[in-house]
Amino acid sequence: MRLQGKVALITGGASGMGRVASLLFAAEGADVVLTDLNDELGETTASEITEAGGRSLYVHADVSRDADAEAMVGAAVDRFGKLSILYNNAGVMLPADGSVHTTDESVWDLTLAVNVKGVAFGCKYGVPAMLASGGGSIINVASFVAWLGAATSQTAYTASKGAVLAMTREIAVEYARKGIRCNALCPGPIETPLLMQLLSDEEKRQRRFVHIPMGRLGHAEELAKAALFLGSDDSSYMTGTSLIVDGGITAAYVTPED
């Protein structure tokens, strides 16, 4: 098992891509601490891991709050003795996020609080725990839109993911010789309930699909396996980089001929 003996903290781990990653990391041998705002789904996911023979803990945490980030890392160390992997997966993409001249201040505030401060606070407390544990791997979820403009306007989200990418590089450089790796995972459109809700408008849906060379959305399992690679020792010489899992969008951004 690729994560045997490791302790993983996964934010937003109760549903969607986070839930799939929580189950996969546990199946690969990790002790998993997952956080979320939905306590019912969080407890259910943790129970599934335990029932399958793994070890897991659910912690309620709003990653945009400094105190919650401190508490979730503390809970992981208290329960399992160390922190090996920090998967900063929690994020938001709000329906009201649009063009720069139409997006309301409240959308900016929430998007940056969760997507940027949430990653920063996770690292703020995760890094000392990893230093005390002898090192570890940080995985920050950015997006393919951190590399190019989105087909549909989502200015606050795009800006937040660009910030995550820049922060990832800086953390990687600072702690590279202290045993901590930090990489960004940049997914393309992944088939989750949140995205399907946002793509309920047929015009927006078609504008997305026309730009994906593979012609389909990604699956949560595909992204979780990429995160598994970054969290495991298989990626031991990777830090400060981006793993783009986008069906070819950033390679072409055109519709291939059938």
Rounded CA-CA distance 69/197 in Å is 28
What are the Cα distances from residue 240, in Å, to 114, 115, 124, 139, 140? 21, 18, 17, 10, 10
The per-residue DSSP string of 150-205 comes to: -SS--HHHHHHHHHHHHHHHHHHHHHGGGTEEEEEEEE--B--HHHHHHT-SHHHH
Rounded CA-CA distance 87/228 in Å is 10
Q: Are strands 85-88 and 56-60 parallel, antiparallel or unpaired?
A: unpaired
Give ∠ CA 210-212-217 in degrees, rounded to 5: 105
Q: Which two tokens stand for residue 198?
A: 């946002």
Rounded CA-CA distance 176/164 in Å is 18
Rounded CA-CA distance 206/146 in Å is 21
Amino acid identity of residue 34, one-letter, is: L
Chain mean position to CA 150? 19
Please, what's the b/e burial string for 152-170 (b: 16 or more CB within 10 A of its CB; e: otherwise)?
bbbbbbbbbbbbbbebbbe
| Residue 253 is a catalytic residue | no
Q: Which of 157, 175, 237, 253 is catalytic?
A: 157
Catalytic residue positions, numbered: 157
